[in-house]
Amino acid sequence: MKFPDLSMSNPVRLRELIRQIRSAKTAAEERAVVQKESAYIRDAFRDEDNTWRCRNVAKLLYISLLGYPAHFGQLECLKLIASTRFTDKRIGYLGAMLLLDERQDIHVLITNSLKNDLNNSNEYVAGLALCALGTICSPEMSRDLGGEVERLMKSANVYLKKKAILCAVRIIRKVPEQFDVFQNSVRSLLSEKHHGVLLTATTLITEMCQQNTQALQVFRNLVPNLVRILKNLIMAGCSPDHDVSGISDPFLQVHLLRLLRVLGRNDNEASDSMNDILAQVSTNTENSKNVGNAILYETVLTIMDINSESGLRVLAVNILGRFLLNTDKNIRYVALNTLLRVVHADQNAVQRHRATIVECLKDADVSIKRRAMELCFALMNKNNIRTMTDEMLDFLGTCELEFKSDCTSNMFLAMDRFSPTKQWHVDQMIKVLTTAGNSVRDDIVSSLIGIISSTPDLYGYAAHQLYKKMQNDITQQPLVQVASWTLGEFGDLLVNQQPQNEENLRVVEIEIIDILERILNSSLSTVITREYAINALMKLSTRFPNCSDRIQSVMTYYACNMNLELQTRAVEYTSLFTKHNIIRSSIVERMPVLISNQTSNTNSSEPEESIINSKENSPVNGKHEHVPSDEPINLVNILDDHIQTTSGTLNPNHSSSLFNPLEDPLFDFDTPTNPTTKSIPSMTAIDKNGIRMIFTFERDNTTLTINSKITNSTQYSITNFIFKAAVPKTFNIDLYPASSTTIPTNNSGDIQQIIKITNPNREKIRMRIKLNYQLNNTNMSDEAELNTFPEQCYN
């Protein structure tokens, strides 16, 4: 006889299910328990088992939290919501919040239940409905039920009033136009005595102002009311109900300060009316405890974000300076991070705390150390460049490896902008290379070579200094690369000129050849370093005629090298000693001056500026052109033809390929190029959310240069702007850094960025772009597919 399975009539409790799942020793055991219980729950739902529906949905929600599918319980949640029992409604609304969203069709079925419960006489049922509406509301649901929420905002019941206000916050985020529905009710909320209502009301007003421009203009009239509330909080003394560490309701104070920040931004009248209260908060708030520091931090942000008085800004910076002396690492980090944001607003005030900031470079915490490093570079100007360079060199010598590359790039940018003399600049960069070792980026090597090349008075001096540095140490590859290039170009000056105050340093030709050959043969030298060295030796073959035979022997030896790059160079250079010896002297003449795209500010009278973002303003991204002495050349076929040398200067904007001697910066003549540049109409890439991006084009053969200009027509500054672009694999794209990451308001400024696309097959250009930015403290993202480039861009 077969007995019936009685397990279905006595379901497992939620607590027991949790115990079974937690006791599973393997993932397979856990899945078995979950699958068994899910099967039972499905059967119970199918049988319309009303007795255990609430328990089954609760278990299903737990299963959903573990990551298992639970979509089959959505309709059961609606049935529980329609129940008259509070316990059923509670589980039903919880399930709706976890399992439903506005993308599902079943979502619309809950609207009527929500409307009924919002009118329920039981405050807890109405509260459940408000919580659910705020969590899962869609734009349509927000419009349908916005009036019910607005009615509850006027309720005498504080419990419902707070929940209704928070629900309105969610509705405004979904549908900013609903501002009109809640506008009148919000004004009356600021006269409430209950702190919970005031807290939620300030949150709602802040959200409205951030989402709706009209609301911002309307609520600026409330600044006196907000100032009065904040003044009462700090002057009335502590209330036992709202006291936190001796400070009256710090949560409400923080929200009021944030709202004042939003209302006072770019508005002189509103800013003037809140200057006094901000000064009172700054001076009367106790800073010995973390609660007070939180309020002071928000006060500083508000002062620096509105059109405040200069004295108030100095007070705000001094507060951050006191934060730097705090023993709490989090507070020090916040202070450094905030100073980095406000340094442009009042650099002189921040400069007063420079010693404390420099001291933070010695902190053991790497996050504090990094922020301090970035802030130190932001404080550099023409007045303190010598002192700050010494400080940063000390830091460079002791910091972790992860800091060295960023530090060297920032130091180069700072010295390039503020160095008092070219000789000092070269001396300090040599110190940087010596201190940083092999942690120097390739762009620094190329940029320093460009600086030396552009200063004829320093040719011999630079050669002497670099030769001294690598006499006893050839392991520091960036330094050796710069030195090899300099010796190859100006080795004859090193031999013929006696350096001042260094009578014992008399260099002969054979010593220079010895050290270059030692670099070439060293097992510690990288391939790129060897390429610099073999190029330098080839240059010296005409400058040092007595060493020509030895150099030719080196080239012959390396013609059989296992490295293809070195072998190719050696073979081609060997041909200059034999088959093409007649033109060797003209080909290896001294390079023309390499002109930088952006000249140094040495001895300039420009306003003081600062260096902040090393990664975005790094020379590798287009600040200076690379000296491509580490690329291969190919002379075998081309030099069979007659080559007529011409005089002229090298075009630094031309990305030379050393596969052609006419384009090789190793040689002292230009390539006669006549690029066909057509008139190309401009193009609007994106025009959305107040952001407008215009493309203008320049084309040289198969390379298209796109100059993008981004403007902001909104009344809020756009910050943390990042532009990304992608093209199909048949194209090659180079994205240069933007001129800034901040776009000013009301089209008062712009960001410019260069994009270069190589289109070898002259195909129709297609591009996908993405913009990430912060607008009014809200993270935003825009995307666009560009398929309508002008035909002149590729034909």
Q: At what angle do helices 123-136 and 86-99 cross, to 10 degrees?
A: 10
What is the average per-residue pLDDT within 38-58?
87
Residues 3 and 177: their CA atoms lie apart, in Å, by: 64
Residues 491 and 765: their CA atoms lie apart, in Å, by: 48
* Alpha-carbon dihedral 167, 172, 178, 184, rounded to 10 degrees: 70
Q: Is the pLDDT of residue 474 over 80?
A: yes
Q: Residue 11: CA atoms inside 13 Å, Cβ hemisphere, count?
A: 25
Which tens digits make up the pLDDT trace of 99-113? 887 666 677 788 888
CA angle 394, 396, 400 (to 5 degrees): 125
What is the average per-residue pLDDT within 394-400?
91
Q: What percent of the chain has pLDDT over 90?
A: 40
Q: Which of 436-445, 612-621, 758-767 has the lowest mean pLDDT?
A: 612-621
Is 719:732 a contact under the CB 8 Å cutoff?
Answer: no
Residues 723 and 721: their CA atoms lie apart, in Å, by: 7
Q: Is the pLDDT of residue 84 over 50?
A: yes
What is the average per-residue pLDDT within 72-79?
88
Which tens digits make up the pLDDT trace of 403-445? 998 899 899 989 988 999 999 999 999 999 999 988 888 888 9
Output the pLDDT for position 105: 67
Is 319:279 a contact under the CB 8 Å cutoff?
Answer: no
Which tens digits make up the pLDDT trace of 147-194? 999 999 988 999 999 999 999 999 998 888 888 888 888 888 888 888
Domains of the chain in start order, with CATH, are: 683-793 (2.60.40.1230)
DSSP-assigned letters across all residues of 346-382: -HHHHHTTHHHHHHGGG-S-HHHHHHHHHHHHHH--T
Q: Which of 93-102, 355-364, 648-657, 709-718 has the lowest mean pLDDT?
A: 648-657
Q: Residue 753: CA atoms inside 13 Å, Cβ hemisphere, count?
A: 23
More reliable by pLDDT, 620 or 161: 161
Q: At what angle do helices 366-379 and 385-398 cross, to 10 degrees?
A: 160
Task: Residue 265: name the closest of 788, 775, 760, 640 by CA.
Answer: 775
Per-residue buried b or exposed e for 123-162, using 16+ beta carbons within 10 Å of the residue's own CB: eebbbbbbbbbbbbbbeebbbbbbebbbebbeeeeeebbb
What is the average per-residue pLDDT within 506-532?
91
Output the pLDDT for position 498: 64
φ, ψ (nearest 5 deg) of residue 531: -65, -40
Residues 163 and 155: their CA atoms lie apart, in Å, by: 11
Output the pLDDT for position 700: 83
Q: Is the pLDDT of residue 494 over 50?
A: yes
Q: Is 695 exposed, middle or buried (0-12, 13-18, 19+ CB in 10 A)?
A: buried
Query: How many of the other CB atoms lie within 10 Å of CB of 748?
Result: 11
Which tens digits make up the pLDDT trace of 266-276? 888 999 999 99
Is 464:505 a contact under the CB 8 Å cutoff?
Answer: yes
Residues 634 and 692: their CA atoms lie apart, in Å, by: 46
Output the pLDDT for position 739: 82
Q: Is the pLDDT of residue 265 over 60?
A: yes
Task: Residue 227: name the closest of 190, 189, 196, 201 by CA.
Answer: 190
Output the pLDDT for position 482: 94
Q: Is 272 exposed, middle or buried (0-12, 13-18, 19+ CB in 10 A)?
A: middle
Q: Is the pLDDT of residue 344 over 90?
A: no
Q: Which of 392-396, 412-416, 474-478, 670-674 has the lowest mean pLDDT?
A: 670-674
Task: Residue 263: name the closest of 244, 285, 278 by CA.
Answer: 278
Q: Which of 220-229, 491-500, 728-737 has the lowest mean pLDDT?
A: 491-500
Q: State the pLDDT confidence band at 501, using cuts at 50, 70 and 90.
A: low
Long-range contacts of 788-793 (CB under 8 A, 24+ apart): 788/683, 789/683, 789/764, 789/765, 790/680, 790/681, 790/683, 790/697, 792/678, 792/679, 792/680, 792/681, 792/697, 792/699, 793/680, 793/697, 793/699, 793/704, 793/765
Output the pLDDT for position 587: 86
Distances (CA, A) of 63 to 16, 48, 113: 13, 20, 26
Output the pLDDT for position 504: 56
Q: Is 334 exposed, middle or buried (0-12, 13-18, 19+ CB in 10 A)?
A: buried
Do strands 683-688 and 243-244 pair parallel, antiparallel, or not at all (unpaired)? unpaired
Output the pLDDT for position 708: 93
Q: Which of 38-42, 495-499, 538-542 has the lowest mean pLDDT?
A: 495-499
Output the pLDDT for position 343: 86
Q: What percent of the chain has pLDDT over 70?
A: 86
Q: Residue 352: CA atoms inside 13 Å, Cβ hemisphere, count?
A: 12
Output the pLDDT for position 631: 36
Q: Is the pLDDT of residue 622 over 70?
A: no
What residues have CB less than 8 Å from 501, skipping those under 6 apart?
A: none
Output the pLDDT for position 736: 85
Which tens digits make up the pLDDT trace of 235-251? 776 667 777 888 888 89
Q: Which of 127-141, 322-336, 608-622, 644-658 has the lowest mean pLDDT?
A: 644-658
Q: Is the pLDDT of residue 654 over 60?
A: no
Residues 532 and 537: their CA atoms lie apart, in Å, by: 9
Q: What is the largest CA-CA distance in the chain?
A: 115
**pTM over the 0.95 mark:** no
Q: State the pLDDT confidence band at 597, using cuts at 50, 70 and 90.
A: very low
Computed over every residue of the chain, the mean pLDDT equals: 82
Amino acid, res. 620: V
Secondary structure (3-state) at 739: coil
Measured in whole angstroms, the distance separating CA 596 from the mean position of its chain's CA atoms is 26
